[in-house]
Structure 1
Amino acid sequence: MSLGNYITSLGDNPYFGAGFGLFGIGAGAAVLRKGLQYAVIYFRRQYMITLEVPCRDKSYQWLLQWITYKGARKTQHLSVETSFEQHQTGHIKTKYDFIPSVGSHYFRYNGTWIKVDRTREQHTLDLHMGIPWETVTLTSLGKNKQLFFNILEEARQMALTKTEGKTVMYTAMGADWKQFGHPKKKRPLSSVVLDCDLSERILSDVKDFLGSASWYGERGIPYRRGYLLYGPPGCGKSSFITALAGELNFGICVLNLSERGLTDDRLNHLLSVAPQNTIILLEDIDSAFVSREESKQVAAAYEGLNRVTFSGLLNCLDGVASTEARILFMTTNYLERLDPALIRPGRVDLKEFIGFCSEHQIQQMFAKFYKTGDPETGEIDDYPQKFVKEVICRGKPVSPAQLQGYFMRYKTAHPSCVIEKVDEIWD
């Protein structure tokens, strides 16, 4: 039998014909399915744009809040974030913020439909934050990346309006900085009464530094500035730094060098990734290290408790890998305990003593707490001068914290009564 006749006989066979037909249909369906898959992939690559924002990114929470208030308002699938706000009246208000829950959401922005996919990996943790790993993915038609840039910028601006007029505090968490607590209402610089022109002198120096970036660059000088405020406790060092940050519209990054698990590498990394427009604050720097002369007397049993080494701190402050465009404040109650290498020029550029109250401070604080004189007649009484005289004649040093505590105790009393009970300041 010839080959042609054999093929013809197979074609006449109904079993073979049915099998070949099924094979052809299956093969055609597979080719079509594969073609559709390639077509979808090609379409996504050429005509769709996607933005993925992981939970570790700084814009993650901004974006979730923006989607809630500006985008997916009609979504019925929400997650809640509960917070508390304290009003000037002293009442605490509970605030509920609703953000899109895990899943898919859709909204329209500037005439473009955008799909939002919020995913959560239950078996994967963000090691720095200790929470399940999350991502938010935005998908839209077109190739315009500016669309997502505009969304992120709007989200950032909306987040900034929530902290407008407030000072944001940051604390080190893992390898990054996280907002600590709720933003605080800015403290006026005038509310911190320092001796004579000390406050204006420091403020002027900081402002001069902020406006001298090009001057530093032209002379090859590292663009950073270090300050040391020293003096007895309760004299206003930390309060002044908080008020200064408010005056400059800066945040404050509080860094504890005694924190367990803090290493030289992590310290250097934290200083390099500190948020822009912030003051880095190292409080009670004397408690973190002893001078090299004193360290010879320290028992070996106490060595190694702090994983941040003194040389590591010095390198972070002005070493080869240290960061620039940085304002760093250190405070201490005991200047004599600090190693000279830590406070030399280049690491500490300006040292200021903030001590017990002078006559000027006592008078200014008294005038802030109690109304003196008659505004209608213009008469001025001498209560502030009398109070200053009574305090000075006791011959005892007094800190601003002591005065403030005393004034708070008699905040509604008549000035004459406050003067009579002046001995209670030292109780």
Structure 2
Amino acid sequence: MAKIHEYLSSLTDNPYFGAGAGLAGLGIGLSVLRKSSIIANAVIRRNCFISLEITNSDPAYPWLLNYINRHSRRQTRHLTVNTFVRQGESGKTDTAFRFLPGQGTHYFFYQGFPVLVERQRENQSIQKDGFRTPFETVTLRTFGFDATFLQRMLQKATDEELSHAETGMVIYHAVGPEWRRFGPPRRKRPLDSIVLDAGISDKIFNDLREFLNSSKWYTDRGVPYRRGYLLYGPPGCGKSSFISGIASQLGYSVCMVSLSERTLDDDRLNHLLNTAPPNSIVLLEDVDAAFHSREDHPSLKAAYEGMTRVTLSGLLNAIDGVACAEERILFMTTNYVERLDPALIRPGRIDVKEYFGNCTDYMIGQMFARFYRDEQQQLATEELTQEFVAAVRRLSCDVSAAQIQGHLLKNKFDPLSAIHNASDIVAKS
């Protein structure tokens, strides 16, 4: 034992051994420290940070990147660009650019908290919109314990993007037994741009909105979840325009059916009315043209001979027969409500009837004020508006909204000419 003690003492007195042992101990210590830091980092990242990963196969991927780029305190300096090209048949080309944070690491602040953004591009590719594109991921990380923090940010980015998205009103028409889009989406028309007599627009829109929010009420009481509207009155009084405004306001499409189409029969009409696309309004325009009494108008009999194969009973069954679909909104328009069979417009088939008449003083004034409204110059003063209303009333005849609009369009930059030449409304109509 003494010899062993002497041997160890001699090693400790050896400067070479002491230096080596010190280096070894330092290496072990650094190794332990490194492993400890890795473990500590993993524990902290797992328990003290929240993260959200999204790939470019998800529709919200560009929305999130766009949101980050818009709302960072200082916009990211490393960007990527997506170019959108739209070329018309005539050769005119329009382009638009979207700038997004580029590959790598970025920082931004959301609700006062710093968020780390890591955008990575992988070697593999995915199929997207008919093209092969590199697979990408974006990972968001921030300090905290509430995982819904990043979820709320994603929802905010989605809501903001969709609120700025330019959408149009889609028109469908019947081709054979199916609905097909008719041309490109139309520009949405604001509901308040259609001037009607006081209260009409609000009455119909509020009724329709209440219907859309009452699905459970109808189901609980066993009432068919359908709603029918009849708009009647002279031509050019805003019936079709109002339906376009309603559809635009609700974000609905419009499915148009012409009952005078020669190839349309009862079976095809029944199929079409009950297979309309979701979130759509079915529109039957000028329904009287197919069903008014020929006996009362013998001179028209030849003109309507063979014009349609749809029968009145076929239309009634298509509207509320046994096989009718639920959750349907039906609008009919007519210029001659007295020609319609009472069975067609009874409650259950038509729930709301509204008269669209020629222009009242209120409507004339509203249209004039809307055309010449100028927030800076205030051209459409009350005095000018009343002068125009009086000028129209001196015509001693009823005028439609279409006639007033046509006249104002001819004088869209000169309200005084619109007033002085009011007689042109009926002279050239």
TM range (shorter): 0.5 to 0.7
Residue 342 of structure 2 aligns with an amino acid whose one-letter code is: P
Letter in 2 for 1:344: R
Q: Which residue of 2 aligns with 1:169?
A: 171
The structure with the largest alpha-carbon Rg is: 2
Any gaps of 5 or more consecutive residues in structure 1? 1-65, 67-81, 86-90, 97-107, 118-159
Map 1:37-186 to 2 at 5 A. Answer: 84=88, 93=92, 164-186=166-188
Distance in 2, matches of 1:163 and 1:171, equals: 25
In the superposition, relative to structure 1, how do residues 83 and 394 fare at CA in structure 2: closer, same or farther (>3 Å)? Answer: same
Asked if structure 1 preserves the Cα contact closer than 8 Å seen for 2:173 and 2:256, the reply is yes
Length-normalised TM-score, structure 2:
0.60
Note the C-alpha offset of 1:372: 6.7
More off after superposition, 380-389 vs 309-318 = 380-389
Show the counterpart of 1:417: 417
Contact 1:372-1:380 at 8 Å conserved across structures: no
In structure 2, do the counterparts of structure 1 residues 418 and 207 end up closer, same or farther at CA, with 3 Å as the change threshold? same
Residues 224-267 of structure 1 deviation map (CA, whole Å, 9 limit, x = unaligned): 00000000000100001001100000000011111122121111
Instruction: Kindly state the Cα deviation for residue 421 of structure 1 after the two structures are TM-superposed.
Output: 1.1
The Cα shift of 1:169 comes to 0.3
What residue in structure 2 maps to residue 275 of structure 1? 277
Cα distance in 1 for partners of 2:273, 2:341 equals 21
Q: What residue ranges of structure 2 are gaps of 5+ in the alignment? A: 1-58, 60-85, 96-120, 131-161
Amino acid at match of 1:319: G
- In structure 2, the residue matched to 1:348 is 350
Map 1:280-295 to 2 at 5 A.
280-291=282-293, 294=296
For 1:223-372, what aligned pairs fall within 5 Å after superposition? 223-291=225-293, 294=296, 305-371=307-373
Is the 8 Å Cα contact of residues 167 and 245 (structure 1) preserved in structure 2? yes
Q: Where does structure 1 differ by over 3 angstroms across 4 or more consecutive aligned residues?
A: 82-85, 91-96, 108-117, 160-164, 291-305, 371-376, 378-381
Q: Deviations over 1:350-392 (max 9, x none)?
A: 000001001110000000111379758x995510011111212
Paired with 1:222 and 1:172, the residues of 2 have a C-alpha distance of: 25
Instruction: Give the SS at the match of 2:202.
Output: helix
* Cα gap change, 1:373 to 1:379, in 2 (>3 Å): farther
8 Å CA contact 1:278, 1:327 repeated in 2: yes
**Alignment partner, residue 404 of structure 1:** 405
Q: CA shift at 1:109, angstroms?
A: 11
Query: What residue identity is the alignment partner of 1:417?
Result: S
Against the structure 1 CA distance between its residues 94 and 311, is the aligned structure 2 distance closer, same or farther, given a 3 Å change threshold? farther
Distance in 1 separating the partners of 2:241 and 2:273:
22
One-letter identity of the residue aligned with 2:191: L
| Cα distance change on mapping 1:311 and 1:92 into 2, 3 Å | farther
Partner deviation per Cα, 1:284-323 (whole Å, 9 max, x = no partner): 0000112487499986996554221110000001111112
Q: CA deviation at 1:417?
A: 2.5
Q: CA deviation at 1:419?
A: 1.2
CA-based RMSD of the aligned residues comes to 3.7
Distance in 2 (CA, whole Å) between partners of 1:419 and 1:387 is 5
Q: Distance in 2 between matches of 1:420 and 1:115?
A: 60
Partner of 1:214: 216
CA distance in structure 2 between the aligned counterparts of 1:301 and 1:373, rounded to whole angstroms: 52
User: For residues 110 and 216 of structure 1, do their structure 2 counterparts lie closer, same or farther at Cα, with a shift above 3 Å needed?
Assistant: farther
Paired with 2:298 and 2:169, the residues of 1 have a C-alpha distance of: 42
* % identical equivalent positions: 52
Q: Distance between the aligned counterparts of 1:116 and 1:379, measured in 2?
A: 50
